[in-house]
């Protein structure tokens, strides 16, 4: 269960949110919980969450050790800040920063080489769904983004199915739509890596997940987790989402 804070919250606001979540979720031991604050708040949030059940992720990384890449953040810098996860290929990055599948694949390789667990986001636009191409589009993203990633590395990879038309719009995919796409992604992984590896990959749903719809989404057999944007900015609603009851 992961919260993507996007470009919200100052350091002070982030630490306050992290502290509230740490307390609210202290007793939760049967599910992985991750928060992904903006880069500026990663270190103080990781410090605030020390000794608790919540892990920290970044929202991006640059696929190089170090170098003259003005404005970018390396995998070692993320590790240095206590980061264990990274969101890669989010549709906002694909759309606003022209990130290609090749670039996302580079980032995935580098993240895994450094022991940072990627949450790889894939998903179709409303137009692509209207044309009935959602499975083709998503399967192409999965195959290109995972190119040359070996089977043994897949236990560190989570995939988030995030239909673009559901992100930040209040329009959630129905539990059945989510389950059907997750099953298609699982079948894709099965083709690439075989049944055993495919069954072990956590496939999360993202796109307007809220306290009111999380239980039904998580009740679907192919939905293994949630990547939450807007509703993760409020401690009560994120705590409720993490404590889903399928």
List contacts with ligand PGA (CB under 6 A): 4, 162, 167-168, 206-209, 227-231
Q: Which is nearer to ligand PGA, 168 or 212 (CB)?
A: 168
| Shortest separation between residue 210's beta carbon and ligand PGA, angstroms | 8
Q: Which is nearer to ligand PGA, 14 or 74 (CB)?
A: 14
Q: Which is nearer to ligand PGA, 74 or 89 (CB)?
A: 89
Q: Which listed residue (90, 92, 99, 124) is catalytic?
A: 90
**Taking CB positions, which residue lies at the least distance from ligand PGA?**
229
Q: Which of 62, 68, 59 is nearest to 41 (CA)?
A: 59
| Shortest separation between residue 225's beta carbon and ligand PGA, angstroms | 12
Is residue 162 flagged as an active site residue?
Answer: yes
Q: Which listed residue (152, 162, 182, 222) is catalytic?
A: 162
Q: Which is nearer to ligand PGA, 94 or 135 (CB)?
A: 94
Whole-angstrom distance, CA of residue 62 vs CA of residue 57: 14
| Shortest separation between residue 12's beta carbon and ligand PGA, angstroms | 22
| Shortest separation between residue 209's beta carbon and ligand PGA, angstroms | 5
Cite the active site residues.
90, 162
């Amino acid at each position: 269960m992961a919260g993507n804070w996007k470009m919200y919250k100052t350091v002070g606001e982030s630490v306050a949110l992290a502290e509230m979540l740490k307390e609210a979720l202290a007793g939760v031991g049967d599910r992985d919980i991750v928060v992904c604050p903006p880069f500026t708040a990663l270190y103080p949030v990781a410090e605030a969450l020390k000794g608790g059940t919540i892990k920290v992720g970044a929202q991006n990384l640059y696929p190089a050790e170090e170098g003259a890449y003005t404005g970018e953040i390396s995998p070692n810098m993320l590790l240095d800040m206590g980061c264990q996860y990274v969101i890669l290929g989010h549709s906002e990055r694909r759309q606003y920063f022209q990130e290609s599948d090749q670039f996302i694949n580079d980032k995935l390789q580098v993240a895994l080489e450094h022991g940072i667990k990627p949450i790889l986001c894939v998903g179709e636009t409303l137009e692509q769904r209207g044309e009935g191409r959602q499975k083709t589009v998503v399967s192409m993203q999965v195959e290109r983004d995972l190119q040359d990633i070996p089977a043994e590395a897949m236990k560190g990879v989570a995939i988030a199915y995030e239909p673009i038309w559901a992100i930040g719009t209040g329009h959630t995919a129905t539990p059945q739509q989510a389950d059907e796409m997750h099953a298609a992604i699982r079948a894709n992984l099965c083709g690439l890596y075989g049944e055993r590896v495919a069954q072990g990959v956590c496939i999360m749903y993202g796109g307007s997940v809220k306290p009111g719809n999380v239980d039904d989404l998580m009740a679907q057999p192919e939905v293994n987790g949630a990547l939450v944007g807007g509703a993760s900015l409020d401690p009560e609603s994120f705590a409720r989402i993490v404590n889903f009851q399928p």
